[in-house]
C-alpha cells in the first residue's frame, strides 16, 4: 500500500501539518506541490490532494494540477484546512473535478486552520490535537475503503 499526498500549504503551514499527522499512522509520502514532478503518480495506490481554502476554494495551483491529470481510473481523496467550518462545501469542487478525471474519490476531510484575514486572526490554535486525530482516523478509513473497493 502506497499513498501519495500532494499538498499546497502557503498561508500558515496548516494543511502540511495535517498531512504530516496522516503520515504518522499510514504509509504516506508527502509531496509539496512544487516538487510533484519528482513523483510518478501511477506508482501509488491512492493519491490525496489538500490545501488551505482561499476565497472558498482550494489553492489555484493545486486545482490546475488536478485539471492536468490524465483520465485513467485511479483512487484519490481530498482534504483542506479553513478558518470557517464549511468543510463539505469547501471540498466539493475539487471532488467534482477529480471525478471528471475518472478518479474514485474515497472520501474528504476538512478541519479548522488558523488564518489571518484582513489582519484579523480567525480559528486560533487550529489545527489542534482533535483535528490531528480526526485526520489520522480519516486516512485509516480511506485505506479500509480502498481495500473494500478493490475486493468488490
Ligand X SMILES: Cc1cc2nc3c(=O)[nH]c(=O)nc-3n(C[C@H](O)[C@H](O)[C@H](O)COP(=O)(O)O)c2cc1C
Cell triple for 113: 486552520
Q: CB of 43 within 8 A of CB of 3?
A: no
Q: Is 6 left (phi over 0), alpha (psi -120 to 50) or beta?
A: beta
Among 117, 125, 133, 140, binds ligand X (CB under 6 A): 117
Return the residue of 115, 131, 132, 146 that touches ligand X, per CB under 6 A. Answer: 115
For 28, the grid coordinates are 504516506
**With contact defined as beta carbons under 8 Å apart, do 144 and 150 qualify?**
no
Q: How far is the CB of 70 from ligand X (least distance, A)?
A: 27
Task: Kindly state whether residue 93 participates in binding ligand X, applying the rule CB under 6 A.
Answer: no
Applying CB under 6 A, which part among 21-29, 65-73, 82-90, 131-139 lies near ligand X? 82-90
HSE-CB for 24 with a 13 A CA cutoff: 13
Q: Tell me whether residue 124 or residue 147 sits nearer to ligand X (CB atom).
A: 124
Note whether 107 binds ligand X by CB under 6 A.
Answer: no
Which of 29, 84, 92, 93 is close enough to bind ligand X by CB under 6 A?
A: 84
Contact status, residue 90 vs residue 82, Cβ threshold 8 Å: yes
Min CB(37)–ligand X separation in Å:
21
Summarize as ranges the residues that interact with ligand X (CB under 6 A). 9-15, 52-56, 81-84, 113-115, 117
Amino acid at each position: 500500500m502506497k499513498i501519495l499526498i500532494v499538498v499546497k500549504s502557503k498561508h500558515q503551514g496548516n494543511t502540511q501539518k495535517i498531512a504530516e499527522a496522516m503520515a504518522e499512522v499510514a504509509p504516506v509520502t508527502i509531496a509539496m506541490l512544487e516538487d510533484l514532478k519528482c513523483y510518478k503518480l501511477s506508482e501509488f495506490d491512492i493519491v490525496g490532494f489538500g490545501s488551505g481554502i482561499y476565497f472558498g476554494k482550494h489553492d489555484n495551483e493545486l486545482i490546475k494540477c488536478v485539471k492536468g491529470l490524465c483520465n485513467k481510473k485511479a483512487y484519490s481523496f481530498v482534504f483542506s484546512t479553513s478558518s470557517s467550518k464549511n468543510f463539505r462545501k469547501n471540498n466539493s469542487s475539487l471532488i467534482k473535478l477529480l471525478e471528471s478525471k475518472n478518479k474514485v474519490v474515497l472520501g474528504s476531510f476538512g478541519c479548522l486552520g488558523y488564518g489571518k484575514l484582513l489582519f484579523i486572526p480567525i480559528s486560533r490554535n487550529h489545527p489542534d490535537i482533535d483535528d490531528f486525530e480526526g485526520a489520522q482516523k480519516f486516512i485509516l478509513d480511506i485505506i479500509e475503503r480502498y481495500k473494500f473497493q478493490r475486493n468488490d
